[in-house]
Amino acid sequence: MAFWNLASSEPRRQHRFLLSIPLLEGYEQYLAKTVTKPAYTISETEHKFLGNTYYYPGAVTWDPVTVQLVNAVNPDGNLSLYKALYNSGYLSPDQAADVFGINALGLGAGTPNKMNALGSLGSIIITEINGDGGTIGTWQLNNPWLTNVKFGDLDYSGEDLLNIDMTIRYDWASYGSGDGPPVSHVVDNAFDSVVGLSTQEI
């Protein structure tokens, strides 16, 4: 039965979500404005035979997620994202003046690397909720790191809230339906049994 005929079955709503970025220093959930949910693309390989074209699925690529936050004074949004950059392994030119030596911070010349970049954000979780605040679905971004940060534009003629826009790359997303935890894979029982039969037959 369609949701408009059954009150207990309702559509998901855009404004009912919580965003958790656990290791972003000073970040608060209420500062989130928008977030795109994970999406994936499967590449294709074509094969031509006798005037026909056949397609085969290839590699799976998860699309980047974009996040918009309110750039608050306290916690300082600029500072939080600026620290995340340095926590990813980046050193500015004035800090890495002696490339082969040790600088004032006790660090050698550094560049962003995946291990440190992952440690600057932690596992990002997008929680979809219902009208009562109950969890109806959870997305987890695995191995996320920042690829782009914009601190917003200043304008004497504007009165809008200043925002921070972030683009996040990750290896894959896990999803959990209802209040269950996110899982890396979901196998339908019927599909699992079919696969099992075909495997035994082979």
Identify the sign of the CA torsion 187, 188, 192, 198.
negative
| Per CATH, domain 9-45+55-201 is 2.30.110 | yes
Tally: H helices and E strands in the chain = 3, 10
| CA–CA separation, 90 and 116 (whole Å) | 9
> How many Cβ atoms from other residues are within 10 Å of residue 111's Cβ?
10
| CA–CA separation, 129 and 32 (whole Å) | 15
Task: Please write the tens of the pLDDT for every residue from 48-104.
Answer: 999 999 999 999 999 999 999 998 888 888 888 888 888 887 777 766 655 555 555
Residue-level pLDDT at 165: 94
Grade residue 117 by pLDDT with cuts at 50, 70 and 90: confident
Q: What is the pTM of this model?
A: 0.77
Residue-level pLDDT at 39: 96
Task: Please write the tens of the pLDDT for every residue from 7-40.
Answer: 667 788 888 999 998 877 777 788 899 999 999 9
pLDDT: which is higher, 191 or 59: 59
Residue-level pLDDT at 110: 67
The burial of 151, by beta-carbon neighbours within 10 Å (0-12 exposed, 13-18 middle, 19 or more buried), is given as middle
Task: Please write the tens of the pLDDT for every residue from 138-190.
Answer: 999 999 999 999 999 999 998 999 999 999 999 999 999 887 778 766 665 54
DSSP 22-65: TTSTT--GGGEEEEPPP-EEEEEEEEEETTEEEEEEEEEEEPPE
Contact by Cβ (8 Å): 149, 112: no
Average pLDDT over residues 105-119: 71
Instruction: Delimit the domains of the chain by residue range.
Output: 9-45+55-201
pLDDT: which is higher, 22 or 126: 126
Residue-level pLDDT at 83: 87
Residue-level pLDDT at 19: 92
Which of 91, 75, 173, 162 has its CA nearest to residue 125? 173
Q: What is the dihedral of CA 9, 11, 16, 18, to 10 degrees?
A: 80
